[in-house]
Structures are given as C-alpha cells and as structure tokens.
Amino acid sequence: MIEFRDTLLTPIWDKVRRGERLSLEDGIALYATGDLIGLGKMAHFVQQQKSGDAVYYVLNQKIEHTNICVLSCKFCDFAVKKGDADAYEMTTEDILSKLTPDIHEVHITGGMPADWPWERYLDIVRSIHERFPAIDVKAFTAVEIDFFHKKFKLSIEEVLRQLKAAGLRTMPGGGAEVFSERVRKLLFNQKIGAKAWFEVHTTAHRLGIPTNSTMLYGHIETIEERLIHMMKLREAQDETGGFLTFIPLAFQPGDTGIKPRDRFTSAIDDLKTIAVSRLMLDNFPHIKAYWVMLTEEVASVALHFGADDMDGTVGEERIAHDAGAVSPMKLAKDQIIKIIRDAGKIPVERDVYYNPLRISADNVIGKIPYLNSVPFYHAFEKRQFRILPVAPRRMGLLQEKDQIIAGPFSLMDYFRHEERLDLLEWCIATRDQVKSVMLFSNHGWADLDGKKIGITDDTATSVRLLQVLLEKKYQVKATFERLHAGINDLGGFDAVLLIGDEALRRNKFGLEGFEIIYDLAEEWYEWKKMPFVFAVWAASKSLTKETQMELNVAIERSLADAEGSYGAIGALHGRRIGLTQADVEAYLEGFNYRLGERERDAMKEFRKLVFELENVSIH
C-alpha cells in the first residue's frame, strides 16, 4: 500500500494496479507531482512485476568507427568533417583489436562519411561475427540504416537483410531524439523524423531483429512532447513486440550552442523520466538507467524508480563524453555489481536478448515469469530470499552453475540434476489441456515428418514432450531449430512451438501464417490418460534445514492464499496478455500445483519415453 502526499496520484495508482493503460493526462500529472517518492514507488511496483529483484548489465564494448559525418546536427559535439584535425576512421582490424572473448556485446554506431562503400560496413559486422562468434553484434541506428538505404540505393529491408546475414543480432535505439517535428526542424532538420525512424525499426522487427528505443530529453522539448514520444513507442510495440528496452538519454549540452534551462538535467527530472517511462510503457520489458549520461549516483537511485538495466562496461564511449557527460569513461564490472547490490538488487549479467548468464547474489529463488506461476509468488514472503524471473530453460542453466538455490525447475532439468536437488511438494501440472504449450503448424501430425519446427528458446521440457509425441505417438521425425529470445522471423518454419504467456496469447488470438493449433498436454492426455508435469519445485541439497523450511512455508502460504481466488490474483498479469479475469480463472483452474501420486506416475512414464529416444538435435 502506498500513502501518497499528492492525492492526484491515487486514481493513477488504481489504474496501475488494475493493469489499465495510462493516458497523456496521466503522464502530465506524473511529471507535475511533487510526490517524488510516491511516483517512484508506483514505478518500482511495475518493475517488480516484470523483473523481480533483477537488475541487468552486460559486458560490452562501444565502437564508434568514425566521427566523420555528412550531417551537422546542432546537438552533436562528436561529428566532424573529413580533413578536420581531430577526424578519425577505424579499419576493421582496428575494431577487432578492441574486442576480447569475454565481451558479450559490441555496440557499433558512429558518423556517416560520404565515401565509405557498402561492403565496408558489411565487412565490419561479418569480421566480428567470424572472429568472435560468441559476441552479439548490436549495430547502426535508424539514422545510419536510412543513410545506407539512400546512399547505396537499397531498400531498408534489403539493407537489414544483408546486415543480418553478415551477423547483426540487434539494433540500438539511437536517432529517435524526440518525435516532434517542431524540435526536429529546430535542432536536427537534416536527420530523419519519426516516420522514417519507425519504418526502420518495424522493418527490423518483421525480419526478426529486436531493437532498443531511446528518447533524448532535457533540451527544448516540452513535457507533453516527451509523453507523446513514449506513447508512439508504446503503439509501435503493440504492433510488433520487437523493442527490448527503452533508454531515456539526458541531454549533454557541451559546446553545441543549445541553451537548455539548466546546463544538465536535474536528478529529480532524470528520476521522474525513468519512473514515468516505466509507468507509461506498460508493454516494454525493460527500462534502462544509462549511467553514462545519468552518473553512477543517479543510476543507482533509478533502480528504485522503475529501471532494471544499467547497460554495461561501455568501453570507448565518446559521443556522450564529447558533449560533456561527467560519468567515468568506463565502469568496471565489479563496480556495476557493487552499485546493484548496494541497491538491494540481484546483479544479473545478461546477453543482448536479456538472457541471464551469471548472477552475483545469494539465496536467489527462480520464478517462471508466466501466468501459470502466479499462485506461487503473489503472496510469497521473500525475507532472506531474492526473486529472479527467468524462463524455464535458462533457470536450469543457472541451477547447473549453482546460482539458483530453488525454483519450479523444468521437469527435464530436474531429471538431469536430481542427484543435487531435493524434490519438494509442489509442481506445475495439467489435468488435460494446458492452453500455454502450443504447436502452431501448417501440417497435421503425420505430415510433419522431415519438416522444420522452430522451438522457443524458453523451453527445456516442452520440446522433449513434442519429440515424444512425434516419434512415439505418431512415428514421425522432424528437425528442431532454436529461436532466439527476442522476436523472430517465422517464415522459414513449417511449425512453431511456443510456451507460457506468448503461447497463451497466441492460442487466443492466433499466430499469423499458421492455421493449425495443437495443445501438447491435450495430446499427451488423449494418448496416456495421465496428467503432464511441466515443472517441479526443487531445492539445492546444500540448503540448511532451516532455510528449506522457511522456503516451504513461503511457498505453501502463497499457494494456499491463492486457492479459490485465481481470477483475482492473476487478473493484473492476465490483462497484460489480453485475457479477461474469467479467462485467467479458467486457465489457472486447469493446473494442479501439488505433487500427488498421479503426477509422480506421469513423471515416471515420461522419463521412460524420453530416455528411449535418441537425443534430439536442436541448433
């Protein structure tokens, strides 16, 4: 419960708790409030619903390949003209020399010189991908993509297809500035506007390239223009679902000649912008506190104002610092971890798709971030524990590294590691149909022989269930290929396996390009007349009896509190994926959360079938 000093926040808080979308007027009231703490608490509530106690960072390297640029934007202190004393151009070898195998992401942006050929850009991406295949390439803003499109007379789609083929994984969100024609004409009239920016990003999303998004604030824009910017992003995200994160960028005036009201944005303005963006952008998974522009101190506080990402080590960043940013040029991994820990959060090292790679905290409990797990967590008393939302397959990988002490592990992960886990009394099992482990197909079961099936990156058990159904029930074999954790181009697949909230949503609204929908739990039940157990609660054998007892009590209390009121406790989560309260109640009533004899028998039967099969090949 939040006690507001500003009563105008109360009806907005009611909308937030009901999962209702905020309006422009709501956003204006949020910016106008003097109740900074109340605003922060609302944003922190939303952040906790989305990412629990996690704060993400990445080991990354910023590459700005040249500062020579055909544009002359008023707010830019970085760009120069060819022949200037401080002009520079990096070769591909120069770029490769900046990279090491321990980096997970390389972020490439820079000037736009008039004389570079198209092949030079492709060579940069291709060479990084070939020399360092484990490094994800995030490269080129929408402004640069539009420049390539015009200069090299290629369509935007063709530019992106060639970059993706060379090794591009994601795109940064720069170049958005503020989606206001008034501001664009005054400050960057040579740059693309909102229409072209969105064309580039929505095309990227259609091709399976996730992107970031940004907003440059603190110059001459109005509060209303900031909010309209957020609302346009929100609308595009409704359409494509391709944005990974939103990054508010505080303007650094430098020597641009632009005179904002104050030389730098205030900490209050920065925190309000983080919090408002978290509340307005209800369909964005992450909000970034970009410490390069905010400073370490403000970024740390922002972790309680809705932000759940601090970016990363960002070596070689120059654009912001040429404009006068006062943060350190490079923030070491240990310092980032310390900042996150000091904020009482879990430091989570991530990849470019926000898959967790390593966590630096004790007593971390995994949380499957789907509607079907809400009963376990809605009233969970954390006490000594920290909660990390993580997809089933990734939870298993973290448990393998001893970085998660307990959680509802995928059944296959429990089978693989049961010698080091204590099985607890709870599970996620279905009686017959599940509605959220779904195969979307263009073929009947018998016709899937030899076909290519895309498998969501989230699954560890459902893919084995699909294999068992194909080979044991229908006597056919298919080729499986992993999708990445962002959006994907599904055009090359004959069928696609989805799980969790996305499957639940697509089960209700359909998946474009696929006409047939199969519920894998229903297929299993019709065949075996048994429930199917997708996950079981288990805890590390290294836990003390006292810690495991405290965990058991927390799980049972939350589950007991949820029983009989599934619709109410899952309503907020359900609304985010387009479900009514009645939908939520019907869905959750279809699960059995306690591990009984029938569930144990079903586990034994599935184990037998899985180990009769040859290992499936998933690339």
Give the 3-state DSSP-derived string for 168-223, with helices as H, strands as E and coil as C.
EEEECCCCCCCCCHHHHHHHCCCCCCHHHHHHHHHHHHHCCCCEEEEEEECCCCCH
Mean pLDDT for the stretch of residues 566-589: 95
Per-residue confidence (pLDDT) for residue 319, from 0 to 100: 41
Q: Which residue has the higher pLDDT, 290 or 502?
A: 502
Mean pLDDT for the stretch of residues 21-31: 98
Of the listed ranges 311-320, 394-403, 443-452, 601-610, the one predicted with least confidence: 311-320
Residue showing tokens 């005036």: 253
Mean pLDDT for the stretch of residues 381-403: 95
Per-residue confidence (pLDDT) for residue 69, from 0 to 100: 82
Per-residue confidence (pLDDT) for residue 317, from 0 to 100: 41
Per-residue confidence (pLDDT) for residue 77, from 0 to 100: 59
Mean pLDDT for the stretch of residues 460-468: 96
Mean pLDDT for the stretch of residues 77-82: 65
Per-residue confidence (pLDDT) for residue 616, from 0 to 100: 52
Q: What is the pLDDT of residues 132-179, one digit of tens each?
A: 999 999 999 999 999 999 999 999 999 999 999 999 999 999 999 999
Q: What is the pLDDT of residues 28-78, one digit of tens each?
A: 999 999 999 999 999 999 999 999 999 999 999 999 998 888 765 555 555
Per-residue confidence (pLDDT) for residue 335, from 0 to 100: 87
Amino acid at 135: I
Per-residue confidence (pLDDT) for residue 74, from 0 to 100: 55
Q: What is the pLDDT of residues 411-424, one digit of tens each?
A: 999 999 999 999 99
Structural contact between residues 309 and 291, judged by C-beta atoms closer than 8 angstroms:
no
| Confidence bin at 362 (pLDDT 50/70/90) | very high
Supply the Cα-derived Rg of the chain in whole angstroms. 25
- The closest alpha carbon to 333, from 103, 153, 165, belongs to 103
Q: Which residue has the higher pLDDT, 568 or 330?
A: 568
Mean pLDDT for the stretch of residues 297-303: 91
Architecture of the domain defined by 47-357: Alpha-Beta Barrel (3.20)
Report how far residue 185's alpha carbon sits from residue 341's, in angstroms, rounded to the nearest whole number: 43
pLDDT at residue 331 greater than cutoff 70: no
Homologous superfamily of 362-619 = Periplasmic binding protein-like II (3.40.190.10)
pLDDT at residue 254 greater than cutoff 60: no
Domain 47-357 and domain 362-619, same fold? Reply is no
- SS3 (DSSP) at 534: strand
| Confidence bin at 294 (pLDDT 50/70/90) | confident
Cα(first)–Cα(last) distance of the chain, in Å? 47
| Confidence bin at 322 (pLDDT 50/70/90) | very low
Tokens of 272: 């309000």
> How does 263-275 read in b/e, with b if 16+ C-beta sit within 10 Å?
ebbebebbbbbbb
Displacement of CA 399 from its chain's centroid (Å): 20
| Confidence bin at 323 (pLDDT 50/70/90) | very low
Per-residue confidence (pLDDT) for residue 87, from 0 to 100: 86
CB atoms within 10 A of CB 121: 21
> What percentage of the chain has pLDDT greater than the value 90?
82
Mean pLDDT for the stretch of residues 229-246: 97
Tokens of 615: 């290992």
Q: What is the pLDDT of residues 119-135, one digit of tens each?
A: 999 999 999 999 999 99
| Confidence bin at 84 (pLDDT 50/70/90) | confident
Query: For 220-345, where are the E strands, in sequence order?
Result: 243-250, 286-287, 309-312
CB atoms within 10 A of CB 172: 20
Parse the chain into domains and list their residue ranges. 47-357, 362-619
Tell me the whole-structure pTM to 2 decimals: 0.91
pLDDT at residue 542 greater than cutoff 50: yes
CA distances 77 to 208, 319, 320, 511, Å, are 33, 7, 8, 46
Per-residue confidence (pLDDT) for residue 264, from 0 to 100: 66
Per-residue confidence (pLDDT) for residue 262, from 0 to 100: 53
Helix, strand counts (H, E) of the chain: 26, 22
